[in-house]
Structure 1
Amino acid sequence: MYELVSPINTYAVAKYIGYLLMIFALVLTVPVGAALLLGDFSSAYYYALTSIITGMLGFAIYKVLPEYELETKDAIVLAALAFPLISVVSSIPMSLTTGMPFIDAFFESVSATTTTGLSVAPTDAGPVFLFSRAWSQWVGGIGIILIALSVFVNPGASAFRIYKAYSGEKPIKPTVVSTTRLIGKIYVAITVIATAILLLSGMSLFDAIAHGLSSVSTGGFSTRPGSVGEFGHILVPLTIAIACIMGAINFELYPEVLKNPKKIAENLELRYFFIIAGIGTLIFTFSILQDPGIQLGTTEIAFQVISALTTAGFSTLDMSVLPDSSKAALSGLMWIGGSIGSTAGGIKIFRLIVLAGLIRFVFLRFFLPKETVTPFRIRGRIIENDEMYQITVFVALYVVIVIVSTYILMLHGIGTENAIFEVSSALGTVGLSAGVTDATMPSILKLVLCFDMLLGRIEIIPILILFMPRTWIQGAR
């Protein structure tokens, strides 16, 4: 935070926003191609026009501004601005092609780019809309910034700071660009595998592609109003659950497993993922049994637990009919989320492992002499004070945002249980809904949930830094 005593270099941030706009212009050409293949020439026109204007604006910014070296604070602000900016741009063709009010199109776009899956769209929006939404989730899963790093940005300090601000991880290859390209290859590979398996499970080509894109990105948008529950074949939810787990695993694990398959069993986060999934299944099952009016099989229960924990948000049942205890169980899983370095949202399993270890560490210190130097370790890795502070602050802010957002929903007449569930889903970038989110909800609530989705995807601290006066103004408090 001390680095933000001086404001950011707005020209440097603007220069890299130019890069992002040019990249996103290329991203928008994919829905153009899909619209042409589907024979929807009107949608192709609107997406093409948006792509051209976005690309021209990005190129103009790129040409006018000189090259700058990004500082860490500039990279943090860039990461915070990327998703809201891209959401605004993509909501324009989405509104024009479907006739949705702009606020609804913006909500849908934010939900897509943050890989959430909450929806206020009409059920008859058409196949181009369904594909573009799934495509936006896939791009949002890997992150437009990582795409820009792999294509435009040269290796160096700026690239490293952007990567660090966006992912919070150290590069797994010698350079950031080689790291992002490796992550991209892994992402494409598991998407192709998921799509192929969905085809084999009985889906049509269109459905398989759309669900392949939205399951690996743990996005949750489906081509059917009833989500996965409308597909009768038992292999469909099983395949989607596998694809969601693949997306919720830290991508750094994949190249390690290729070299040494034993790394799967040794990975702490993955081990705890399955332990939490098992415990969550037992709790969810027990809560369902308390209501004899709801009959769910083991497969449906396990699928819903995996969908919540991976923050994918697919469903095989109507969440609004669940008892409050079941909604509470799923809310807890949505809070937890998947692995760091994955497409999943939530607090993340590693942070919770650190907090649990920190609690144990504090109690152990009572039995040691005060002068004893005892570094805090997790599986042999020393957790530095700065990292502990960031994790603690992140979790505290997460809880505060849930409380404040829930209270706003309650002020508009939504019951406590449903309000907590909906906010947990938005902040965890999950997409499960208790029936609260729809086109008729007040605009203020749509904006609250949009803000929660953006906070969950960008991980709170960077986007809150945008609202600090000293970020922009010299000498501000």
Structure 2
Amino acid sequence: MQRLRYLSTIVSDVGDLFVFVAPVTCVPLLVALLYAEWEMLIPMAAVPVIFFLIGVVIPSLPRQERGFRLSTAFCSVALFWFACAVVSGIPFMLALNMSFTDAVFEGMAGWTGTAFTMMVSLDTTPHALLFWRSYMQWVGGIGIIAFAIALGSSTGLSRSKIFRSESRDEPFLPSVMNTGRRLVKIYALLTFIAIGLILFTGLSLWEAVNLGLTTISTGGFTLHPDGILHYNNFALELLLIPLMIVGALPFKLYYLVIENRRFSLFGDMQVKLFLIILAIATAVVTYDLIFFTNLGLGAALHQAIFMTVSAMTTTGYQITGLHSWADVTILFFALVVFIGGAAGSTAGGIKLNRVGFAFQALFWWFQRVFLSGKVLIPFRIEGRIIPKAMAELETAKNMLIIILSVGTVAIASLIVIQFNASSYSVTETAFSIVSAFSNCGINTGYVSPAMPVISKWVFIITMWIGRLEVIPVVMLLIAVFKGED
């Protein structure tokens, strides 16, 4: 009974979020009207209607009054994201007769910004449904809850707690609502700029809008089965490189630019680390493509630069298939995808702030070991001195998330490999899992409508866990099986 009361509290806490997200999901209806796709009105209207009804009904459920707790925020956000994926799959079932599993997969890939897809006939898909895919990635890129907070949602949870539990960086303004609104404004501005620049490469407005949404959100969905290769447009590929990078850097930096604050772009730890890893990874992949795949220097550089940026920003665009790459290159590429982009951006992965913090903590630990115990060694991060107790706590938290992330990838890989089709190597299958966890979507070919149903659900859960950075899902599982801690 205690467990049921606790779960009812978790469910009740997300009611207002559903109400505020409902109008956000009405936008694809405008596309259906614009293209006179009358048959798409009911499938697309189903999403906001269901969100609104759930949001109205849930708060009326009996609940246990509780104070603000971060664990409750974690559970609520995890449940909310999964519910969004399920509801968002309804248009695919109604319009394309997709199976429930494939529809939920598409919804989860959309909201988590993963380029994997279960759709095989994109060129004949209605405009409203294509836009829905792009729009999900755009809203999900900055965070569904960030949008709800920006709209003024007032849940039973502390806004700052629910904001952070969506794997967001700390708010850079005193008010979380102001932070959410500022994020949305900056995000929209960057998106409009991206769309305008893409138009200059010769694409139509329809193509530019969809690519702009999925590039700034580092989502990776495209309008054609062969993705970016469909356009055969070198200028577009060159333009997408900086646009993907823009989406993978901390949005706080753009706020500082807009506010004319003094700051050094290259003084930011995550930016420095991003550029260093990107340069090293590009050099390694170029070398591998020349000596292991026998590409010429020009072709190797072309593939290496674009694919490495796509991998590290976790956008998922591809200009080549990985089946022609050597296993060692794919394994190295998996590491790049796993690291991902910056915290406070739309990118996935374990985030550069954790990698940077881990190296700083390791260096600090070795200093303490090899110097005299009487010498106090301060822990410095980006010029700030962190108290010893806080440094040790943050180190433990970072290592916990990294270990849980590695464990999630390992377990998911083992399960999927049991159902692996014989034409795909263990390396290719494991890479696909890493790509799902980091919400990237670069595909070795394993992820397709033909893969086993159990593998599809493993990928759905892996994308969900990766987007929320493990902890919220763990807390939800504890609540389901154990009840209140």
TM-score range, shorter chain: over 0.9
* Aligned counterpart, 1:111: 109
* Aligned counterpart, 1:386: 393
Identify if the C-alpha distance between structure 1 residues 155 and 257 changes in structure 2 by more than 3 Å, giving closer, same or farther. farther
CA distance in 1, matches of 2:437, 2:82: 15
CA distance in 1, matches of 2:482, 2:23: 30
* Aligned counterpart, 2:359: 356
Secondary structure of the 2:130 match is helix
Identify if the C-alpha distance between structure 1 residues 183 and 308 changes in structure 2 by more than 3 Å, giving closer, same or farther. same
Q: Deviations over 1:319-339 (max 9, x none)?
A: 222221221222111011010
2:336 is matched with which residue: 320, 323, 333? 333
Q: Deviations over 1:120-140 (max 9, x none)?
A: 212243332221101000011
In the alignment of these two chains, the number of paired residues is: 471
Identify if the C-alpha distance between structure 1 residues 301 and 474 changes in structure 2 by more than 3 Å, giving closer, same or farther. closer
Secondary structure of the 2:14 match is helix
Amino acid corresponding to residue 467 of structure 1 in structure 2 = L
CA distance in 2, matches of 1:92, 1:297: 42
CA distance in 2, matches of 1:471, 1:172: 36
Greater CA deviation, 454-463 or 159-168?
159-168
* Aligned counterpart, 2:285: 284
Identify if the C-alpha distance between structure 1 residues 234 and 412 changes in structure 2 by more than 3 Å, giving closer, same or farther. same
Structure 1 residue 23 and structure 2 residue 20: aligned? yes
Q: Deviations over 1:285-317 (max 9, x none)?
A: 011012355452523320111000000000111
Paired residues of 2:215 and 2:244 also in contact (CA < 8 A): yes
Amino acid corresponding to residue 138 of structure 1 in structure 2 = W
* Aligned counterpart, 1:455: 465
1:73 is matched with which residue: 71, 74, 85? 71
Identify if the C-alpha distance between structure 1 residues 412 and 56 changes in structure 2 by more than 3 Å, giving closer, same or farther. closer
Structure 1 residue 44 and structure 2 residue 45: aligned? no
* Aligned counterpart, 2:433: 423
Identify if the C-alpha distance between structure 1 residues 60 and 437 changes in structure 2 by more than 3 Å, giving closer, same or farther. same
Identify if the C-alpha distance between structure 1 residues 156 and 74 changes in structure 2 by more than 3 Å, giving closer, same or farther. closer
Amino acid corresponding to residue 425 of structure 1 in structure 2 = S
CA distance in 2, matches of 1:89, 1:6: 25
* Aligned counterpart, 1:406: 413
Secondary structure of the 1:384 match is helix
Greater CA deviation, 461-470 or 237-246?
461-470
Greater CA deviation, 118-127 or 192-201?
118-127
CA distance in 1, matches of 2:42, 2:195: 28
Secondary structure of the 1:273 match is helix
Amino acid corresponding to residue 450 of structure 1 in structure 2 = I
Amino acid corresponding to residue 321 of structure 1 in structure 2 = S
1:122 is matched with which residue: 120, 123, 132? 120
CA distance in 1, matches of 2:198, 2:86: 32
**What's the offset of the Cα at 1:280?**
0.6
**What's the offset of the Cα at 1:27?**
2.4
1:437 is matched with which residue: 444, 447, 457? 447
2:50 is matched with which residue: 42, 49, 53? 53
* Aligned counterpart, 2:135: 135
Q: Deviations over 1:416-471 (max 9, x none)?
A: 21122101100110010000000010011001111111111000011111111588
* Aligned counterpart, 1:203: 203
Paired residues of 1:227 and 1:315 also in contact (CA < 8 A): yes
Paired residues of 1:8 and 1:472 also in contact (CA < 8 A): no
Secondary structure of the 1:237 match is helix
Identify if the C-alpha distance between structure 1 residues 437 and 156 changes in structure 2 by more than 3 Å, giving closer, same or farther. closer
Structure 1 residue 320 and structure 2 residue 323: aligned? yes
CA distance in 1, matches of 2:221, 2:7: 35
Paired residues of 2:364 and 2:377 also in contact (CA < 8 A): no
Secondary structure of the 1:377 match is strand
2:311 is matched with which residue: 308, 321, 345? 308
Secondary structure of the 1:130 match is helix
**What's the offset of the Cα at 1:64?**
6.1
Greater CA deviation, 99-108 or 285-294?
285-294
**What's the offset of the Cα at 1:261?**
6.2
Amino acid corresponding to residue 377 of structure 1 in structure 2 = R
Q: Deviations over 1:27-68 (max 9, x none)?
A: 221111111212211112221133223212312334667897
* Aligned counterpart, 2:82: 84
Greater CA deviation, 302-311 or 30-39?
30-39
Identify if the C-alpha distance between structure 1 residues 451 and 168 changes in structure 2 by more than 3 Å, giving closer, same or farther. same
CA distance in 2, matches of 1:159, 1:375: 33
CA distance in 1, matches of 2:203, 2:141: 23
Secondary structure of the 2:165 match is helix
Paired residues of 1:257 and 1:263 also in contact (CA < 8 A): no
Amino acid corresponding to residue 344 of structure 2 in structure 1 = G
Secondary structure of the 1:468 match is helix
Name the Cα RMSD after superposition.
2.3
CA distance in 2, matches of 1:293, 1:377: 45
Secondary structure of the 1:171 match is coil
Amino acid corresponding to residue 11 of structure 2 in structure 1 = A
Structure 2 residue runs of 5 or longer lacking an equivalent are none
CA distance in 2, matches of 1:80, 1:155: 15
State the percentage of identical aligned residues.
29
Amino acid corresponding to residue 458 of structure 1 in structure 2 = L
Structure 1 residue runs of 5 or longer lacking an equivalent are none
Amino acid corresponding to residue 165 of structure 2 in structure 1 = A
Greater CA deviation, 219-228 or 382-391?
382-391
CA distance in 1, matches of 2:253, 2:157: 25
Paired residues of 1:406 and 1:423 also in contact (CA < 8 A): yes
Greater CA deviation, 407-416 or 314-323?
407-416
Identify if the C-alpha distance between structure 1 residues 350 and 114 changes in structure 2 by more than 3 Å, giving closer, same or farther. same
Paired residues of 1:215 and 1:247 also in contact (CA < 8 A): yes
CA distance in 2, matches of 1:425, 1:325: 16
CA distance in 2, matches of 1:324, 1:151: 47
Greater CA deviation, 399-408 or 429-438?
399-408
CA distance in 2, matches of 1:19, 1:156: 9
Q: Under a length normalisation based on structure 1, what TM-score does the superposition of the two structures give?
A: 0.93
Paired residues of 1:313 and 1:431 also in contact (CA < 8 A): yes
1:446 is matched with which residue: 446, 456, 460? 456
